[in-house]
Amino acid sequence: MNEIPYEGLTPDVMLAAVESVGFVPNGRMLALNSYENRVYQIGTEDGFVVVKFYRPGRWSNEALAEEHEFALELASHEIPVVPPLVIDGKTLHEHAGYRFALYERRGGRWPELADSSEWIQMGRFLGRIHAVGAVRPFRARPTLAPAEIARSAAKTVLEGGWLPEHLVDSYRTITAQLVARLEQRLEETGRYRVLRIHGDCHRGNVLWTDAGPHFVDLDDCVNGPAVQDLWLFLSGSREEMTGQLADLLEGYEEFASFDARELRLVEVLRTARLIHYSAWITQRWADPAFPRAFPWIAENKYWEEHVLTLKEQLAALDEPPLPV
């Protein structure tokens, strides 16, 4: 695999890829926000189409097919997601070594979630997605494993030489403590339901229109607990998050049941995400988009603050879950 994954993805290659599946591009191109993949809005003689070029080596063809099948399944239930276009019976295409899919252009705005009615509406949306997601599991996509994610990510950072020398021992110690605590919390929670979920469900991945919310990307969908698609929306004080959660669940439980035991997993999942996020950036550093977007990760100050955050997270794991 090319160490610089998109080095050969020139504008000519992109336009030729779109043309290869029957569209006639007019040369207008607009890069859309994406780091893992490369996503562009391409002008055509009939309007616009969105094309997503998948990061080489990240997902197998089978895993990409499951993402597309899930999106199409949700759309068939009139759930507002944007599925890939089916062209000649296919959703996944290849050109010049790059796999890609095409989508309709859909607009929307950042979801403000300004009042209870919008939180309840978001909950309904997520409940409908999970009602479909619970029908059967993914086979080619992984199951979310927080302790293993945290362990692997910490190993990546330690072996990558990113930490200032004076922080290496502190980082090694705190991440080992966190992994041990995650395993303990998971054991205490016991077995929980696993279903097909969005996986990276936060406001930045949702567009809101007058008709309500919709997702435009299921790139990180996995098997996992329902709460993974809920907790990232919560913010503010504990009192504020309690109110937000109550509204979310009011809408959610109109379409799907929620096991309150999963709230014990919120800080577990947050911990895994915190450790993984830094490791993810370091793993992608050879991609020129990452040094441009995340220059601060090469600074000592970032790692000092990161270690402090992880120490605070160790205490957060001992706090009681949000009430329902």
Number of folded domains that form the chain: 2
Q: Are residues 167 and 297 in the same domain?
A: yes
In the structure, what pLDDT confidence band is assigned to residue 3 with cuts at 50, 70 and 90? low
- The residue from 43, 71, 103 where one domain ends is 103
In the structure, what pLDDT confidence band is assigned to residue 1 with cuts at 50, 70 and 90? very low
Site of tokens 């980082």: 171
In the structure, what pLDDT confidence band is assigned to residue 107 with cuts at 50, 70 and 90? confident
Residue 40 phi, psi dihedral angles, 5° rounding: -135, 145
Q: Retrieve residue 246's tokens.
A: 């109550």
pTM: 0.94
Q: Are residues 180 and 201 in the same domain?
A: yes
HSE of 248, CA atoms in CB hemisphere, 13 A: 21
In a domain, 322, yes or no: no
Mean pLDDT of 229-256: 96
Q: Are residues 51 and 136 in the same domain?
A: no
Q: Are residues 230 and 310 in the same domain?
A: yes
Site of tokens 């090319």: 2
Q: Give catalytic residue positions.
A: 200, 217
In a domain, 4, yes or no: no
Q: Are residues 204 and 272 in the same domain?
A: yes
Q: At what angle do helices 168-189 and 300-316 cross, to 10 degrees?
A: 30
Q: Are residues 98 and 146 in the same domain?
A: no
How far is 266 from 232, CA to CA, in rounded Å? 9
Q: Are residues 140 and 90 in the same domain?
A: no
Provide the residue range defining the domain that includes 159: 116-316
